[in-house]
Amino acid sequence: MKPPPLGWRGGRRELGGFQAVVAGVRLSGVNTAIASPTGAWSGIGFAIPVDTTNRVVPEIIRTGRYTRGIIGIRYTAESQALLASRGVQGVVIVDVQPNSPAAKAGLEGVTQERGGVVVLGDVITTLNGRAIKTASDIVSAMDKVRPGDSVAMTLWNNGEAREVELKAVAAEGN
């Protein structure tokens, strides 16, 4: 299907393969896809937020790639069910990658005892000063973390809170 010609349409400036979404005169995001049941140039649009674009694109232009910072934990939205009866809000660390900053700082993931009993490890309640209640909160907080940046966390484990600070490393595959 041929893209529409350049020009203004419905408050958007058409720019070849993508649209710069305009709110007044300020760029608010860069469209990346359209979910269209008919295959037409209409439907539900998905965009990269402009703050992410402004941070990532200059590095891609300068170096040819963007390198994210990670700390070596795995978490899932589903694991939040483990907190229901514990009276704490945060994100459960499901797993800690070996030799990662999280492993070196002593963070603990969920374990399973004989008989299938699940033992809760650390729960992240704050990350770099931001309250963490959902997996989306961690994604937002880590979005700005680069390799070498300090990451300060408050962890809850078995009724006790502790503070941990570690350095992010480059994500593999970058």
**Superfamily for domain range 69-170:** PDZ domain (2.30.42.10)
**Residue that has been written with the tokens 């570690």 in this structure:** 166
CA distance 95 to 112: 12
Residues 82, 92 contacting (CB under 8 angstroms): yes
First-to-last C-alpha distance (Å) of the chain: 33
Would you state the pLDDT for residue 173?
A: 64
Q: Would you list the domain boundaries of the chain?
A: 7-63, 69-170
Two tokens, residue 79 = 């694991």
Q: What SS3 state is found at 12?
A: strand
pLDDT in tens, 135-149: 889 988 998 899 999
Residues 167, 151 contacting (CB under 8 angstroms): yes
pTM above 0.75? Answer: no
pLDDT in tens, 65-79: 888 899 999 988 777
Q: What SS3 state is found at 107?
A: coil
Average pLDDT (123-135) is 93
Range with the largest mean pLDDT of 9-13, 83-87, 133-137? 133-137
What is the band of 95 on the pLDDT scale with cuts at 50, 70, 90? very high
Within 10 Å of residue 105's Cβ, how many Cβ atoms? Answer: 18
Would you state the pLDDT for residue 27?
A: 66
CA distance 30 to 73: 30
Would you state the pLDDT for residue 24?
A: 53
